[in-house]
Amino acid sequence: MAKVDLGTPYLRYERRGPIAWCTIDRPKSRNALTTAMYFGIRKAVEIVNASEEPTALVLTGSGDVFAPGGEMRGRHEDDTRDLADLIGNDLLPFETIRRSHAPVVSAVNGICQGGGLLIAMLSDVAVASERALFRAPELLRGVADTNYAAYLPAHVGLARARDLLFTARQIDAREALAMGLVARVVPHEKLRRAAKAVAEDILQTAPEARFALKRILNAGYGLVDRMTFDASIHAEECREGFRAFAEKRSPAWVPRELRKGKPR
């Protein structure tokens, strides 16, 4: 069993034969993804693509959380330098997963939202535990995440994409399967075995022919408007959304009658 350092103690990378496992393991922060963790996931994908032997990557989480998205309280204790200031959104692993020649399978073991949901959607196959929960909460924080505008309608259709994004409601694994967010739902205790079987099945198929089909399938996605996304995360609405989250209150744009938490 080969282990690789992904640059953060909160990601475990282990290779067992033709299958590599990357486990998100930051339990004290509910697996919230720091800058270094996002970069480490991207590195894991790049490692399996650089392997001399055919290798598939399975991404999963620890405990009852797959990945809830990015760290919102500023606790990036594993960062030795501010990667976000150096390369901005380019550190995110989403496009790397989407373009991966090597198979990438997500084993969604629990809460899956924000960046975690994007990772699951852009994997070649997403297998979910029956306990998994899904959500796209970005608009609650004032973030216009244009990744969702490009990717989500291709999976669930325009009407359902609007519903999920504009209400930020949570759905369970059965509804996620019916919508097309994930490919399979299995009993929780069988998740790892099922994900491994999927990865092994994919490795049975011809890699160049498979990648040719993947290019065509990827063409069904819309374009990600990076300029709009960048502008959104530097806007006042986003700053207020993050402040409100940290202070456990509703943002200022919520009507007074609907606000929760401490008054502002």
Q: What's the burial of 211, exposed, middle or buried (CB within 10 Å: 0-12/13-18/19+)?
A: middle
Average pLDDT over residues 9-24: 97
pLDDT in tens, 80-112: 555 445 445 567 899 999 999 999 999 999 999
Please report whether residue 11 resides in a domain: yes
Sequence-distant (≥ 6) Cβ neighbours of residue 187 within 8 angstroms: 129, 130
Q: What angle do CA 92, 98, 101 make, to 5 degrees?
A: 115
Angle between helix 158-167 and helix 146-156 axes, rounded to 10 deg:
130
pLDDT band at 72 (very low <50, low <70, confident <90, very high): confident
Crossing angle of the two packed helices 115-122 and 146-156, in degrees rounded to 10: 50
- Both tokens of 18, joined, read 């033709």
Would residue 98 count as lying in a domain?
A: yes
pLDDT at res. 100: 98
Cα angle at 238 between 139 and 87, to 5 degrees? 105
Which among 37, 181, 31, 179 is positioned nearest to 110, based on CA atoms? 31
**Among 159, 163, 109, which residue's Cα sits nearest to residue 133?**
109
Residue type, 23: T
Tally of CB atoms within 10 A around 143 = 21
| pLDDT for the residue numbered 76 | 57
Residues 166-223: tens digit of each pLDDT: 999 999 999 999 999 999 999 999 999 999 999 999 999 999 999 999 999 999 999 9
| C-alpha span between 134 and 1 (Å, rounded) | 32
φ, ψ of residue 151 to 5 degrees: the values are -100, -40
Query: Could you list the residue range(s) of the whole structural domain that residue 130 is in?
Result: 2-189+204-218
Evaluate whether residue 64 is within a structural domain: yes
Number of domains in the chain: 1
Is 199 inside a domain boundary?
A: no
In this structure, what DSSP letter does residue 262 have? S
* pLDDT tens column, 101-156: 999 999 999 999 999 999 999 999 999 999 999 999 999 999 999 999 999 999 99
Question: Is residue 153 situated within a structural domain?
Answer: yes
Give the single-character DSSP code of 88: G
d(Cα 207, Cα 18) in Å, to the nearest integer?
A: 14
Query: Tokens 């402040």, residue?
Result: 243
Residue 85 lies in a domain: yes
| Phi-psi category of residue 74: left, alpha or beta, with phi > 0 → left and psi -120 to 50 → alpha | left
Q: What is the DSSP letter of 32?
A: P
pLDDT per residue as tens digits for the range 27-66: 999 999 999 999 999 999 999 999 999 999 999 999 999 9
Bigger pLDDT: 264 vs 90: 90
Q: Which is it for the CA torsion 154, 91, 228, 77, positive or negative? A: positive
Q: What is the Cα–Cα distance from 248 to 250, expressed in whole angstroms?
A: 7
Predicted local confidence at residue 34, as pLDDT: 94
Query: Could you tell me the CATH number of the domain that includes residue 77?
Result: 3.90.226.10
237 domain-assigned:
no
| Helix/strand number for the chain, H first, E second | 11, 11
Using CA atoms, how far residue 162 sits from 105, 141, 150, 243, in Å, is: 26, 17, 12, 25
The answer to whether residue 230 is domain-embedded is: no
